[in-house]
Amino acid sequence: MDIASLVITVLLAALMLYLLVRLPLAILSNLRAGHRFRQGLAAALDDLRLSRMLGLLGIDKADYLHRETALEIQKQMQRCDACDDKERCDQVLEGETPVETESLGFCANIDDLKSVRESR
């Protein structure tokens, strides 16, 4: 074996070793970043009526955050925040009696939330 082949073999081995170490670290870093993003999304969701609406419809918030895409959750959060029927929503959410989903037609997210509940 000549010196050029030896140098190339050593360089390839070093590159493989680097990839074997770096790849799991990059994956862990991305997992941590995703977890922090989901925690921030959960905190923002808690500030909206949408969080209580999930509970009213029997949708587990952790399951909702896990199954729905972040983009879809953010759209629903924006719709909830921009809603014009907040007083009516508060009355329904503060009520003691169970509510039929048909009576929640005022909610801008009700169709999406029904499909989330049915997909469980």
pLDDT score recorded for residue 25 = 97
For 58: left if phi > 0, alpha if psi spans -120 to 50, otherwise beta; the answer is left
Name which residue leads in pLDDT, 19 or 1: 19
Counting the structural domains of the chain, the total is 2
The reply to whether 85 and 42 lie within a common domain is no
Q: Token pair of 24, please? A: 């799991």
User: Are 59 and 38 members of one domain?
Assistant: no
**pLDDT at res. 70:** 92
User: What is the per-residue pLDDT across 77-110, written as a single tens digit (0 to 9) for each?
Assistant: 999 999 998 898 888 888 866 677 777 888 999 9
64 and 38 share one domain: no
Here the tokens at position 67 are 């199954």
Distance, in Å, from the CA atom of 59 to the CA atom of 49, rounded to the nearest integer, reads 14
Q: Give residue 18's pLDDT band: very low, low, confident or very high (50, 70, 90).
A: very high
> What is the residue-wise DSSP string for 94-111?
H-SS---GGGGTT-TTHH
79 and 30 share a domain? no
Instruction: Please report the pLDDT score of residue 94 as a whole number.
Output: 87
State how far the Cα of 85 lies from the Cα of 6, in Å rounded to an integer.
Answer: 74
Instruction: Identify the pLDDT of residue 74.
Output: 94
Together in a domain, 59 and 103:
yes
The residue segments making up the domain with residue 76 are 49-120
Contact criterion met (CB below 8 Å) for 120 and 63: yes
Please indicate, yes or no, whether the overall pTM of this predicted structure exceeds 0.75. Answer: no
Residues 41 and 67 in one domain: no
